[in-house]
Each structure stands twice: as C-alpha cells, then as structure tokens.
Amino acid sequence: MTDFRDFRGGAKPLDDIDLPRIGYRIKVGEDEIHAVMDVEAAGGAWDGQKRPKMLFEPHRFYKNVPPEKLAQAVAAGLAYKTWGEQPYPKDSYPRLVEAMKIDETAALKSASWGLGQILGENHAMVGYDAPQAMVLAFMEDAETHLDAMVSFIIAAHLDDELRAHNWAAFARGYNGPQYAKNAYHTKLAAAFAKWSKIRDTAWSPTMDAVPVPAPAPIASDVVAAVTETVKAAVQDAVPAVVQKLPEPIALPVPAVADPISVYNKVLGSLKGSTQGGGVFAAALLLAYKFDIVPEALKEPEAMAAVGVIGTWLFTTVMGAIKTYSAPKNAEASA
C-alpha cells in the first residue's frame, strides 16, 4: 500500500494571489471561486489535523470496489448502493482507512478531496494518473486543490455556467442531479453575494510575467579604453614580416604585358591578408579578455568557429582591398 503518512503533508495554505490567478484560467474573479470553495469545503482546505478535507462516499465505494470484494465491503458497512442510506460521520478518515484495507485504489476513488471536494474517480480529469498521486499532491499545498477544482470545471464544461452565475446549472454539473436536495444552487448564490461585497485582491495577468533583465550598458570610458587597447594591440600584433615586405616596384612596361602590376597586386593581397587576420585575431582576443562576447560564443567549439570564420573573412576582405588599391605599373611610373 502507498505510504500516506496519516494523510499529513506540508499543508501549505492558499496565498491571497492564488484565487484571482487560478480563477483567471476560466475568466472568473475571486467571488466565484470563493463561492464554490465555501459550499464545497466551508472555505478551508484542511481539517483540524492538517489533513486534506475529505468525505468518504460509501455509495461510490459500492460502485468502485471490485466485484469479488463487494460482499466484504458491504458486510463492513463501508459500501451501500444508494446515497444517503446512512448519515456521514464527523470524521471520514477512519472509514477511508478501513476501506483502503479492502482495496486502496477503490477507496481513494470513492472519497471527495480538498477545497473543491474532487472525487477521486475524477483524478484524470484534473491531471493526475492515479488517485494516489492526486491525494499525495493535495496533502502538500492548497494551491493544488484550487488548481484541480478549476481543471475539473473546465473538463466538465461548467465554466460558462459559472461565468453566467447560472447556479442551478453549475450545481447540477458539479454536484449531480440531486443538487437541489442539499440546496447547492441557493448556497452558491448566497456565497457569491457575500463575497461580491468584499474587496478583491489586486492582481493582473502581467504580475505573473517574468521580467527579462536588460543587458547592462557598457560605460563609455570602458569602450574608449577597449578601443585604444585594440589599436595598440593591432599595431603590435601584425607580424613583422608585413613590415619587411618590399615596396611595390614601378617599372615602365608595355601596357599589353604588365607583370609588375601583377607583382604589386600579389604584394598588396599578401599585406592585406596578413593585416586583416592580425586585426581580427587581436580584436577577438580582447573581446574575450574583457568578457564582451555573448555566452553562446564562450564554448570552445564556438570560439574556434568564430576564429576560423572571422579570420578568413577579414583576410579575404583586406586582401581584396589591398589588391585593388595597389598601384598599376603605369600609375606608379607616371
């Protein structure tokens, strides 16, 4: 059997904000939610022993218990065919515990639980795989009771009736066709009228939105310092070979054959490529040093990819610039 720890868990009460927040799922306010809670569980989630409020229903146990165990349940006085055959005791937990000894799952299905008095049979309608899971969740936090109540209202298609304050139709769907015997509809109307005169908790859907922090601005002095550092680093980082490359040779040659221009273009491309790669490498190192790169680019694979692609791009661009800006032989000799 499941260890329910005497049905005592965290027993966390509702927060004021829970009612308007969860009620917003079906576009109703606190007053409608309060009305249902008042009628179903007198507005409270827990009994005097901090257990979820619970009512064991013998007529439901009669239907839920396996046929081979029915005679035992009836003989123990835990199951009978028709609702109301016997009065309910003040505390249903002793009867529930005895019924669980016969069949745990059938017993849990046959009890109404928590703020909304959700019948264990309806565990799947409120998002639980088994009645055991629902009860264990209900033991911890009253918010789960309220969330299950609203989920049941949605699954049973009763949200329109609640929004319209059609209390008879709502009570018929929520409490069954015998709702009038217990005057559920008039009790709901009276509870709603009472809560309508009480000020609601201030809440709006935007209050649940998680703010996204804006990126911290980079101080102008930091930008200036980084810029100067990059300039200095670029001057130092360009390989010495660039400084020692020969100047373009300008010799008069026939316009048809221009080998010197070709030579100048090759030298320009080599200078541009080397300078472009050096500039990018230095800028990239400084960016990582001052931690001004996105988090996604701090992984080793991302760093390598940025380095290869960026170096290739700067090399190509600067090489092209230097190539096309190198003097032709005719221009150099003019």
Instruction: Please report, for the chain, the start and end positions of each structural domain, with discontinuous segments joined by +.
Output: 5-53+114-208, 220-333
* Predicted pLDDT at 324: 56
CATH class (in words) of the domain with range 5-53+114-208? mainly alpha
pLDDT classification of 43: cutoffs 50, 70, 90: confident
pLDDT classification of 330: cutoffs 50, 70, 90: very low
| Whether the predicted pLDDT of 253 surpasses 50 | no
Query: For 150-196, how does the pLDDT look when each residue is reduced to its tens digit (9 = 90+)?
Result: 999 999 999 999 999 999 999 999 999 989 999 999 999 999 999 99
Query: For 275-324, how does the pLDDT look when each residue is reduced to its tens digit (9 = 90+)?
Result: 655 666 666 666 666 666 666 656 666 666 666 666 666 556 655 555 55
Task: Give the whole-number percent of the chain exceeding pLDDT 90.
Answer: 57
Q: What is the pTM of this model?
A: 0.62
| Whether the predicted pLDDT of 39 surpasses 60 | yes
Give the amino acid at 253: V
More confident residue, 274 or 160: 160
> How distant, in Å, are the alpha carbons of 40, 97, 119, 194 from that of 191?
11, 33, 22, 5
> How distant, in Å, are the alpha carbons of 13, 226, 227, 245, 301 from that of 288?
49, 12, 14, 31, 14
Whether the Cβ atoms of residue 249 and residue 264 lie closer than 8 Å to each other: yes
Whether the Cβ atoms of residue 141 and residue 52 lie closer than 8 Å to each other: no
* Predicted pLDDT at 329: 46
Half-sphere exposure of 120 (CA within 13 A, CB side): 30
Please, what sign has the CA dihedral across residues 311, 312, 317, 321? positive
| Whether the predicted pLDDT of 219 surpasses 60 | no
Which helix (H) or strand (E) is 119 found in, with range? strand 118-119
Query: For 89-136, how does the pLDDT look when each residue is reduced to its tens digit (9 = 90+)?
Result: 999 999 999 999 999 999 999 999 999 999 999 999 999 999 999 999
**The two structure tokens encoding residue 53:** 């409020």
More confident residue, 71 or 207: 71
* Predicted pLDDT at 331: 43
* Mean pLDDT to the nearest integer, 81-85: 86
State the residue for tokens 């760093």: 303
Separation of alpha carbons 19 and 29, rounded Å: 8
